[in-house]
Amino acid sequence: ESFDRLWGFLLIEEVGVPGMLNDVVVFTGLYVISQLGGIAIIRLVELRTALGRERSVTTALLLLNGTIVLAMLAFGLAPVFGVALAAYWVTVWARNAEEPFFTAWVNRGLDPATRATVLSTVGQANAIGQIAGGPAFGLIAQLATVRAAIAAAALVLLPALPLYARERRRADGEVSEG
């Protein structure tokens, strides 16, 4: 949430858009390349992932989330426009690719009678995180810098990585047992 709200400010006010570029043209280009790149990355990850194997999907989620953390940190700390631009795109592309894989991963093996409840709970947890995190990261931006808020938001995602790694090891155990 904080990345979505603060990236434009950081790019314009703290990193700076090169003087010869019009802000409207820059943002239009960012959105177009974000969408096209997102489609390409989703397809690439899909081709490289055995969707029927839990270990493969969990590995994709681990790599995508690790990429999101690193790219958000790079964006938050970017010293120049080119670095910020590359980090922004990698962040957006990885986030776009992560969402459908996460949804498929959550849906695996769910009893149809509980599927709606589980998906609703996941959505509510996301909303609670946004409601709680948004003001907290806004406060960090106010008291420190927008860069610090984006870096902090990246670090908050770190606990997901060992959880995916544990799930991947569990999937390995199921493969070797079967």
For range 32-40, the mean pLDDT: 95
- Domain chopping of the chain, boundaries: 2-173
SS3 of 18-80: CCCCCHHHHHHHHHHHHHHHHHHHHHHHHHHCCCCCHHHHHHHHHHHHHHHHHHHHHHHHCCC
Supply the pLDDT for residue 176: 52
Please provide the average confidence, as pLDDT, over all residues in the chain: 91
Domain 2-173 CATH superfamily = MFS general substrate transporter like domains (1.20.1250.20)
Percent of the chain with pLDDT over 90: 65
Per-residue pLDDT reduced to its tens digit, 105-132: 888 878 889 989 998 998 999 899 889 8
Supply the pLDDT for residue 63: 96
pTM of the predicted model as reported, rounded to 2 decimal places:
0.89
Q: With a cut of 50, say whether residue 44 has pLDDT above it.
A: yes
- How far does Cα 62 stand from its chain's mean position? 11
